């Protein structure tokens, strides 16, 4: 091994390393990649990383952070060392994600129709019907093909045994897929020598598949449906992704002010006058979608959209009210939900989760607080959570008080030692924790993009991969 | 035109407006750079102050300028136009607005266009007082011109020529026509030899005017014998081969509007076409001598008002207001 090679001195300790995979039988593609990394000097990697960073900034592959009226374009830090998923692993992930999306859609159909799963006592009634994300407006509504979750981003981690575990379902408007494709383009630009000859599956098909799904769900009888992407606008932090998706689908990128409902139909304002719209892929939260139905102060939505949708004049993806399915408390019931509707065991396990709404869950959580991860059910982005083993005595005491005051707001999980990947840091190539978000697109059927967003916690020891909290990303190489 | 361009694809009205503005702001940057460069070159003598003042007049900026600076001179005017992000007519503002429009259009313009605007934006933002000292000013103007020319070239080579491109091109030609009328209006009368003094032709001044318009060499080729005011006016206003003449800009504007109406069936083109038709007739039915005889300034004022109205016709009827 070269003394200055990328893997020289790299030590993941007793964590599961996705690159070295100790204990697994040798895998030819991985061995080839190891070899190449061993002969790539760290300084060369650092130069390429600097090139890549400048390139991302210049291309505006950025998210925008607003503070004090100034807009700062930040790139999602990109770590060049790829994350590899073998063909066998991918088969498990793909079937597991498809199974999960099916169950989510069946669950949503049920809770907005007969509510059998509630009547049968599998999921507590209050958890669903009392949920802030449950939308009365959706009761009795039949979306085409029974699909509510057209785009699903399932957050998946691996534990110290290399076992895949689902951490969270993102069934509202999951983001990040643009980075999957752009990271690949970047790899092809600056790392083609590392990739040469490896059978890495392409991620270029996403836009086509998304457009196909949007076409499939269009109102019946429309032969060449007009699809649009509805964005909150250029000031949204994910605007780059909206641009990316509109471009990849070849459809107009619109804002609420470009659309209107008239004569029960949805129209867009074009240079030629009003033109009909049939499917809306919206990247706007439920609350802002229609001031008549939800937040009356929303400037971003379209007045009357819900009514037009419910009459079948237009289709909207993802459906309204899916938040009740990706709720952190409902998540705890997902293995049972899968079994209930599909009569199958979950292919991908959950992290063992206790709901503090249940007395025994609360008792256990309070007793083991120092070894658990406790999350508020209504937060996202990694905010407001407690990582027991990393918390001080004072922090534990404070959190205990908060938990007792509102136990129903929390779930607890054992601290999973997330798998790691070699990552270029200021002080060399180090082991950093990663997760994975594959993207599943569903119209009539479900298709999973062979890849996904690998997020990496760039701070040493950190388990929080969110971009808002110092996370970066890696290219995800699914081997054929 | 080719059958492969789909005339049935819709363009969001708001985005058509952004395309128009993107082109206008980019054109403005090049125009400003040209004006600053020639003004600096020719403002070395005692007349310097007057030249800087006329640059402010071209852009209707005298009031805004004097609210910030006491004296129109190289340093203050360069600061006003190159560094002052608060001044809406500075290159700082122009590139910011251009980039914002480009951001709105990112799904429609080419990735190369976006990349170049993004990098150009960074270069302009990075300008500081050190860059605009007298020795450096020409270099900055060259950077600005080259940046816009790179944009123009990338646009020519990569921008898909559907509706959105037509709107972009209309913005470019509207801006060029407008800038040309302003340029002539502010410089022409000052350069006319006064009959009373029978002064010699101010070759340097005419030279400056033509260089600012990027028409010096073409004019020389067309009129090698010297400067005749009516020929300069005719060249800048009516010449059909000079890329920035008002007449050529209007002719191209006409082609884009006509294409949008006939190929894309945009009925909203009608008022703009009617107005443009009248404007072009007024320009074509008169000789330069007619125009000079009736008064150049009133005619140019009228043209500027008509160009502004034309812009409004396009924006209100086609770009959603």
- Which residue is it, tokens 């760290």? A42
The C-alpha atoms of residue A246 and residue A177 are separated, in whole angstroms, by 13
Q: Who among B10, B15, B118 is closest to A58 (CB)?
A: B118
Instruction: Please give, rounded to a whole number of angstroms, the shortest distance from the CA of B123 to a CA of chain A.
Output: 11
Among A73, A258, A271, the residue to mutate for chain B (most B Cβ within 10 A): A271
Phi first, then psi: give them for residue A80, nearest 5 degrees: -70, -25
- Chains A–B, number of C-beta pairs less than 8 Å apart: 72
B116 and B151 Cβ atoms separated by less than 8 Å: yes
Instruction: Please give, rounded to a whole number of angstroms, the shortest distance from the CA of A230 to a CA of chain B.
Output: 12
Q: How many CB atoms are closer than 10 A to CB B261?
A: 16
What's the ipTM? Answer: 0.92
Inter-chain CB proximity A271 and B114 less than 8 Å: no
Q: Who among B13, B107, B118 is closest to A271 (CB)?
A: B13
Nearest CA in chain A to B163: A271
A201 and A458 Cβ atoms separated by less than 8 Å: no
Q: Where are the alpha helices (DSSP H) in A162-262?
A: 177-190, 192-195, 206-216, 239-249
Inter-chain CB proximity B118 and A254 less than 8 Å: no
Instruction: Please give, rounded to a whole number of angstroms, the shortest distance from the CA of A247 to a CA of chain B.
Output: 5
Q: Who among B10, B114, B265 is closest to A60 (CB)?
A: B114
A252 and A229 Cβ atoms separated by less than 8 Å: yes
Q: What is the pLDDT along chain A (480 residues), one digit of tens a residue?
A: 567 899 998 999 999 999 999 888 999 999 999 999 999 999 999 999 999 999 888 888 877 776 655 667 778 899 999 999 999 999 999 999 999 999 999 999 999 999 999 999 999 999 999 999 999 999 999 999 999 999 999 999 999 999 999 999 999 999 999 999 999 999 999 999 999 999 999 999 999 999 999 999 999 999 899 999 999 998 888 899 999 999 999 999 999 999 999 999 999 999 999 999 999 999 999 999 999 999 998 889 999 999 999 999 999 999 999 999 998 889 999 999 999 999 999 999 999 999 898 899 999 999 999 999 999 887 666 678 899 999 999 999 999 999 999 998 899 999 999 999 999 999 999 999 999 999 999 999 999 999 999 999 999 888 888 877 778 999 999 999
For residue B15, what is the enclosing H or E element?
A: helix B13-42
A147 and A440 Cβ atoms separated by less than 8 Å: no
Q: Which of A74, A282, A243 is nearest to B109 (CA)?
A: A243
CA A285 to chain centre: 15
The C-alpha atoms of residue A474 and residue A423 are separated, in whole angstroms, by 9
Chain A residue numbers touching B107 (CB-CB < 8 A):
243, 246-247, 252-253
Q: Does A61 touch chain B (CB under 8 A)?
A: no
Instruction: Please give, rounded to a whole number of angstroms, the shortest distance from the CA of B2 to a CA of chain A.
Output: 20
For residue B274, what is the enclosing H or E element?
A: helix B270-284
**DSSP code of B287?**
-
Nearest CA in chain A to B102: A234
Inter-chain CB proximity A247 and B104 less than 8 Å: no
Structure tokens at B20: 């128009």
Structure tokens at B299: 């005619």
Among B17, B86, B104, B107, the residue to mutate for chain A (most A Cβ within 10 A): B107
pTM higher than 0.90 for the full model? yes
């Amino acid at each position: 091994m070269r003394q200055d090679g990328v893997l020289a001195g790299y030590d993941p300790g007793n964590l599961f390393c996705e690159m070295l995979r100790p204990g697994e039988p040798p895998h030819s593609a991985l061995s080839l990649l190891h070899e190449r990394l061993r002969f790539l000097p760290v300084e060369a990697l650092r130069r390429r990383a600097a090139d890549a960073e400048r390139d991302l900034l210049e291309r505006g592959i950025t998210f925008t952070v607003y503070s004090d009226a100034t807009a700062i374009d930040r790139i999602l830090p990109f770590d060049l060392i790829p994350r590899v998923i073998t063909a066998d692993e991918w088969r498990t992930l793909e079937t597991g994600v498809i199974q999960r999306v099916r169950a989510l859609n069946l669950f949503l159909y049920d809770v907005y129709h007969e509510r059998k799963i509630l009547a049968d006592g599998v999921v507590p009634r209050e958890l669903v019907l009392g949920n802030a994300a449950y939308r009365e407006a959706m009761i009795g509504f039949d979306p085409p093909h029974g699909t509510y979750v057209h785009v699903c981003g399932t957050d998946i981690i691996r534990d110290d045994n290399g076992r895949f575990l689902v951490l969270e379902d993102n069934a509202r408007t999951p983001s990040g897929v643009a980075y999957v494709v752009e990271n690949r383009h970047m790899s092809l630009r600056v790392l083609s020598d590392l990739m040469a000859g490896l059978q890495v599956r392409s991620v270029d098909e996403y836009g086509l598949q998304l457009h196909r799904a949007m076409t499939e769900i269009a109102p019946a009888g429309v032969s060449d449906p007009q699809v649009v992407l509805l964005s909150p606008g250029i000031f949204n932090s994910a605007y780059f992704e909206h641009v990316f998706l509109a471009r990849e689908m070849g459809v107009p990128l619109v804002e609420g002010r470009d659309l209107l409902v008239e004569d029960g139909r949805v129209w867009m304002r074009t240079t030629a006058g009003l033109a009909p719209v049939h499917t809306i892929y919206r990247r706007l939260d439920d609350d802002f979608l229609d001031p008549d139905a939800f937040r009356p102060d929303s400037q971003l939505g379209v007045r009357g959209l819900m009514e037009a949708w419910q009459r079948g004049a237009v289709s909207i993806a993802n459906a309204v009210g899916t938040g009740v399915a990706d709720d952190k408390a409902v998540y705890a019931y997902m293995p049972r939900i899968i079994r209930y509707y599909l009569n199958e065991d979950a292919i991908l396990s959950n992290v063992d989760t206790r709901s503090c709404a249940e007395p025994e869950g609360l008792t256990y959580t309070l007793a083991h607080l120092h070894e658990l991860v406790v999350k508020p059910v209504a937060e996202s982005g990694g905010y407001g959570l407690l990582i027991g083993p990393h918390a001080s005595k004072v922090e534990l005491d404070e959190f205990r008080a908060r938990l007792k005051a509102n136990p129903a707001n929390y779930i607890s999980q054992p601290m999973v030692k997330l798998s790691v990947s070699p990552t270029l840091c200021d002080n060399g190539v180090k082991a950093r924790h990663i997760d994975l978000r594959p993207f599943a697109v569903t119209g009539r059927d479900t298709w999973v993009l062979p890849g996904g967003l690998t997020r990496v916690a760039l701070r040493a020891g950190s388990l929080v991969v969110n971009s808002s909290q110092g996370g970066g990303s890696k290219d995800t190489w699914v081997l054929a | 035109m080719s059958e492969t361009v789909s005339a049935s694809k819709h363009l969001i009205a708001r985005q058509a407006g952004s395309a128009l503005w993107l082109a206008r702001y980019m054109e403005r940057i090049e125009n400003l750079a040209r004006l600053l460069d020639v003004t600096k070159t020719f403002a070395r003598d005692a007349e310097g102050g007057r030249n800087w003042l006329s640059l402010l007049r071209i852009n209707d900026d005298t009031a805004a300028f004097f609210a910030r600076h006491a004296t129109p001179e190289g340093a203050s005017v360069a600061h006003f136009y190159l560094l002052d992000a608060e001044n809406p007519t500075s290159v700082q503002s122009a590139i910011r607005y251009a980039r914002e429009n480009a951001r709105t259009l990112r799904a429609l313009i080419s990735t190369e266009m976006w990349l170049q605007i993004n990098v150009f934006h960074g270069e302009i933002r990075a300008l500081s007082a050190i860059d605009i000292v007298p020795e450096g000013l020409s270099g900055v103007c060259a950077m600005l011109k080259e940046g816009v020319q790179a944009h123009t070239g990338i646009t020519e080579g990569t921008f898909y020529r559907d509706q959105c491109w037509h709107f972009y091109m209309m913005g470019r030609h509207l801006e060029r026509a407008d800038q040309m009328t302003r340029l002539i209006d502010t410089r022409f009368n000052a350069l006319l030899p006064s009959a009373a003094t029978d002064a010699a032709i101010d070759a340097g001044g005419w030279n400056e005017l033509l260089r600012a318009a990027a028409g010096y060499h073409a004019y020389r080729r067309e009129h090698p014998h010297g400067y005749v005011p009516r020929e300069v006016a005719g060249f800048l206003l009516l010449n059909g081969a000079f890329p920035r003449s008002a007449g050529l800009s209007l002719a191209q504007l006409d082609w884009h509007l006509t294409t949008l109406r006939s190929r894309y069936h945009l009925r909203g083109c009608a008022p703009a076409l009617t107005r443009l038709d009248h404007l072009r007739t007024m320009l074509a039915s008169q000789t330069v001598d007619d125009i000079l005889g009736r008064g150049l300034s009133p005619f140019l004022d009228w043209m500027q008002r008509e160009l502004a109205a034309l812009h409004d016709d396009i924006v209100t009827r086609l770009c959603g207001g």
